[in-house]
Structure 1
């Protein structure tokens, strides 16, 4: 026997055993380290914290050492627990996250504006693990990147979202909204026919679940329970496909049969359907020596890898096509020029980005790479269509919850349509053609519609919060002095140490009674006709809301998102009445965006079922 090879085999097995043991031990060591840190923070840490003077949430969870106030937050709907604490402790307070890690909540307009300002935004980036997670799914798009790369990309991209450009997309959005109306009419008719016996009792309609058919309706011959989020999501995907990069998904009719649409849905699920085990893995992967966890061949990672390959293949073809179209039109335009040069159709957003990226006055170091351009496409679809669909569904839910507001808005819309129809005949024939798809010429002229959309975004923004981390020690100013917890004076700033994770309470500050008055937590679109002086004096971002963030990290597509909501609500309210389903409790959960579930129907997943009644059956 060859003793050397025998010893080598034993040594190799020993090394493999040690490696496996270390791999298995690392999570245990990590958790033990976190528990020890939690104990220190919970005891001695209170003596040395620079935030002793800031009001603190009283902990009641018996497992607070492990979960801090996290379980209390997660047991409530998004922002609810934070708002309750704000009502008790004031807009500036502290609470504990997992393993007793301090978190400071700053529902103060000056503090929020400071952290998100051009001077400070890049000093407060997203946590590294969040950026890495988003980049793995979205690519190098505007949402996932940070710092100088973000500033460079935004400089090129921002002109494509200018107000004048956004206005050009009204006809496209109206056309898709009109198609949504037709689809909902067909879905409701199919359900009515099923009830009338024209289909088998087990006949299931697309987007429908069995419980939808069990609801007792007042007018079963005309009404139906419809998951409006299901159809809104398909519609907004079609809109962003055409507006974003001149691609026709036809998702409204074909679902995710298109390979690119299917791949995008897989990636969207990877971003939004983040379960607890995956979230823990993402957070652990930030720790020294544990970054390799990001590359474990989990089933989720394999799905992302396969979908990403499909997206890259299609995106590369689309980017090349758009670039060739631009070269055929003109070469070397400056980035200030974004006209359509002889084409009556509005250029897509990505086309405008490519045009700006090819400008002769851009240095080579300032241009976006192909990978970055493709990252914008992925970001547009995932960040652009699902958040808008979600925002639209919550707007419809609020209108269903407040039928008096729904009726008033519908009346305002009907009057606007009637007025324009009465004046249409005096217009040139080519201008009359616009009414084929548009009920009104300019959706922005309807003030009450604007108020309703603003109020729905204030009350229930699709993204309730965000997270930032301080790259260096800083002192954040506050809009006014707040009382110290010990009663010995006041404080008007908060020290934020390097490495501290700062919770950005987008929804919480929108519900602040200090800003909006005692009815801050009530849905009231009329408030926008008489905005409180406290809101005006706060000098908040345009629109008096932080729902789209602010500064250089604000949502570049907020104009299009707002326009989509205006247009889609107009078409839907002119054609349907929306009611809540009696005795169905809608539960909100934050999975990056605000998601809706029906209590007791968890297996059916994310949905927004409403009773929909056609106005002209």
Structure 2
């Protein structure tokens, strides 16, 4: 899957990110009342729709039409699953229903069986379309996977079957959809808390002469970059992950600890098969690394980050949000540029204010992400006003 996430591929996808951000902006403009000049939007819901549309187009050239609110086969299939009493199922599970692996899932009633059949049929059609795509025109993830799989340099025993190609996509869809929408929701919430940062970001984005920035133009905005980095540091959508040891190992500790028997330990001896929980949030907010203000949203910290954080083995920006090493999130560039496109378009278009008292917004921790939402409700209501230039 790596060929789909290189700089050249993300550069080509940036137009999708910006186009969908503008479509979201236009939908929000329509919520503004003429007499008050104020609109009310559920940021969590709308950003979820936007990123679903992006994943559909960039992932496998499918139009979910989520922002338009118009039902299509796949959205109808999703709604059937929710209406059938399976509302506890998370998006990663739902997305897996779309692919051949769905035959291993329990079919509890007719609605789910119908949804599974719809998703399976659409998946096969999309795979067929991807195979028919000329290699030079392959841009979406599925087409790139198919193209790579046909490479003459690939050994026959390394080629993937059709089922295995489709089975690669749900992880990308689940990770790229919920994580980016949640991270951007957190960023907007943080900007309502820090009006000075919101104003500074708006001034920077308005200094750009185009509504359709390229990837290079987005990356050339230092404060936008700092806001995105800080939001991803402070509000990592996935707060922890786990790893299982493949063999016995001795893990050195950065600082020794004393056990209940008074014995000081400088390392941990671990056995094959043991599971380790890696707290992404704890490392991203560690005050010994980031300073006493580690729990504060402060984009300015990225002008000169503490030397201590250079030891953090993250794949980018000295944060663990996308993990690091061989198992780092391969879609980190995709997520960062999509976030930048969203914030660029939205912050230069609107002033944001939280509609409810800040104390009423909770961090709802779930699988796979932690979301900001009003207590007792699955939403984050914001007030918006059009920016007057």
TM-score range, shorter chain: 0.7 to 0.9
User: Following the alignment from structure 2 to structure 1, what is the Cα–Cα distance between the partners of residues 216 and 325?
Assistant: 32
Report 1:32-47 matches (<5 A): none
Alignment-derived partner of residue 30 in structure 2: 186
8 Å CA contact retained: 2:259, 2:265: no
* 2:269 is the counterpart of 1:495: yes
Structure 2 CA distance for partners of 1:168 and 1:308, relative to 1, 3 Å: same
State the Cα distance separating 1:576 from its structure 2 match. 0.3
* 2:326 is the counterpart of 1:552: yes
Report 1:335-346 matches (<5 A): 340=136
State the Cα distance separating 1:303 from its structure 2 match. 6.1
8 Å CA contact retained: 2:238, 2:370: yes
**SS of the residue 1:251 aligns to:** coil
Alignment-derived partner of residue 316 in structure 1: 124
State the Cα distance separating 1:529 from its structure 2 match. 1.3
**SS of the residue 1:362 aligns to:** coil
8 Å CA contact retained: 2:227, 2:299: yes
* 2:223 is the counterpart of 1:448: yes
Alignment-derived partner of residue 522 in structure 1: 296
Among residues 361, 380, 387, which one is paired with 1:586 in the alignment?
Answer: 361
User: Following the alignment from structure 2 to structure 1, what is the Cα–Cα distance between the partners of residues 156 and 78?
Assistant: 31
* 2:90 is the counterpart of 1:272: yes
State the Cα distance separating 1:510 from its structure 2 match. 0.5
Alignment-derived partner of residue 50 in structure 2: 235
Deviations 1:43-73 (A, max 9, x none): xxxxxxxxxxxxxxxxxxxxxxxxxxxxxxx
Structure 2 CA distance for partners of 1:252 and 1:516, relative to 1, 3 Å: same
* 2:62 is the counterpart of 1:247: yes
User: Following the alignment from structure 1 to structure 2, what is the Cα–Cα distance between the partners of residues 386 and 248?
Assistant: 17
Matched length: 372
Deviations 1:501-520 (A, max 9, x none): 32120111111112112111
Structure 2 CA distance for partners of 1:536 and 1:303, relative to 1, 3 Å: farther
* 2:206 is the counterpart of 1:414: yes
Structure 2 CA distance for partners of 1:487 and 1:540, relative to 1, 3 Å: farther
Alignment-derived partner of residue 78 in structure 1: none
User: Following the alignment from structure 1 to structure 2, what is the Cα–Cα distance between the partners of residues 439 and 615?
Assistant: 22
Among residues 379, 382, 385, which one is paired with 2:171 in the alignment?
Answer: 379
**SS of the residue 1:253 aligns to:** coil
* 2:163 is the counterpart of 1:349: no
8 Å CA contact retained: 1:398, 1:456: yes
User: Following the alignment from structure 1 to structure 2, what is the Cα–Cα distance between the partners of residues 582 and 409?
Assistant: 23
Alignment-derived partner of residue 260 in structure 1: 74
State the Cα distance separating 1:586 from its structure 2 match. 0.7
**SS of the residue 1:187 aligns to:** coil
User: Following the alignment from structure 2 to structure 1, what is the Cα–Cα distance between the partners of residues 357 and 30?
Assistant: 26
Alignment-derived partner of residue 373 in structure 2: 597
* 2:283 is the counterpart of 1:509: yes
State the Cα distance separating 1:488 from its structure 2 match. 5.4
User: Following the alignment from structure 1 to structure 2, what is the Cα–Cα distance between the partners of residues 273 and 447?
Assistant: 34
User: Following the alignment from structure 1 to structure 2, what is the Cα–Cα distance between the partners of residues 582 and 528?
Assistant: 30
**SS of the residue 2:348 aligns to:** helix
State the Cα distance separating 1:556 from its structure 2 match. 1.4
Larger radius of gyration: 1
User: Following the alignment from structure 2 to structure 1, what is the Cα–Cα distance between the partners of residues 45 and 194?
Assistant: 22
TM-score by length of 1: 0.56
State the Cα distance separating 1:170 from its structure 2 match. 1.4
Report 1:451-490 matches (<5 A): 451-478=226-253, 480-485=254-259, 490=264
User: Following the alignment from structure 1 to structure 2, what is the Cα–Cα distance between the partners of residues 493 and 305?
Assistant: 51
* 2:17 is the counterpart of 1:173: yes
Alignment-derived partner of residue 10 in structure 1: none
8 Å CA contact retained: 1:450, 1:566: yes
User: Following the alignment from structure 1 to structure 2, what is the Cα–Cα distance between the partners of residues 306 and 461?
Assistant: 36
8 Å CA contact retained: 2:73, 2:118: yes
Structure 2 CA distance for partners of 1:567 and 1:481, relative to 1, 3 Å: same
**SS of the residue 1:494 aligns to:** strand
Structure 2 residue ranges without an equivalent (≥5): 93-103
Give the CA RMSD over aligned residues.
2.7
TM-score by length of 2: 0.87
